[in-house]
Amino acid sequence: MLPLTATTPQELEDVTDFLRLADLTLSGLDSPSVLLWTARDAENGPIVASTGYERSHDNHHVLIRSVT
* Mean pLDDT on 27-34: 92
Domain residue spans of the chain: 5-65
Per-residue H/E/C for the chain: CCCCEECCHHHHHHHHHHHHHCCCCCCCCCCCCEEEEEEECCCCCCEEEEEEEEECCCCCCEEEECCC
More confident residue, 42 or 11: 11
More confident residue, 52 or 44: 52
Q: 59 in the Ramachandran plot: left (φ > 0), alpha (ψ -120 to 50) or beta?
A: left
pLDDT band at 14 (very low <50, low <70, confident <90, very high): very high
Maximum Cα–Cα distance for the chain, whole Å?
37
pTM of the model: 0.85
